[in-house]
């Protein structure tokens, strides 16, 4: 399984606007799983050291979505009620469309 380097983690954190090192463990743990999801969706194997830009954006946005910064579907202030989407939205998969291979 792929073990992300410090530079790779820094790249994805920069794409999400993260500056602190508090979430490095989260990024290191999740990056291989999200890359695997991109590989499955596109029916091909991307090399972690040379990821296309669209795949990088997909991975970064999925990581952000899983942190629940993104994915907030509704919010109330009166009695404090939040609702979050649990599945990866189809809008994120559009970044992978140019890389998807057909399966016969």
- Angle (CA) 1-47-19 rounded to 5° is 80
24-33: long-range contacts at Cβ-Cβ below 8 A with a sequence spacing of 24 or more? 26/63, 26/67, 27/63, 28/3, 28/4, 30/63, 30/66, 31/2, 31/4, 31/59, 31/63, 32/1, 32/2, 32/3, 32/4
| CA–CA dist 104, 60 (Å, integer) | 30
Q: What is the pLDDT of residue 87?
A: 81
Q: Where are the domains of the chain?
A: 6-99
Calculate the average pLDDT of the chain: 89
- Angle (CA) 39-41-12 rounded to 5° is 55
Collapsing DSSP states into helix, strand and coil, what is residue 11? helix
Q: How far is CA 59 from the centre of its chain?
A: 3
Q: Single out the residue of 104, 103, 7, 19 nearest to residue 51, CA to CA.
A: 7
Structure pTM? 0.82
* Residue 41 or residue 82, greater confidence: 41
Summarize pLDDT for 62-96 with one digit per residue, the tens.
Answer: 999 888 655 566 666 677 766 666 688 899 999 99
């Amino acid at each position: 399984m792929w073990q992300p380097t410090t530079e790779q983690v820094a790249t994805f954190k920069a794409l999400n606007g993260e500056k602190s090192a508090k979430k490095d463990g989260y990024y290191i743990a999740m990056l291989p799983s999200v890359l695997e999801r991109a590989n499955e969706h596109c029916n091909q194997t991307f090399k972690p050291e040379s990821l296309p830009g669209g795949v990088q954006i997909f991975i970064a946005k999925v990581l952000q979505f899983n942190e629940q910064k993104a994915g907030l579907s509704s919010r109330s202030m009166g009695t404090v009620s939040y609702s979050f989407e649990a599945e990866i939205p189809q809008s994120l998969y559009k970044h992978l469309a140019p890389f998807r291979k057909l399966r016969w």
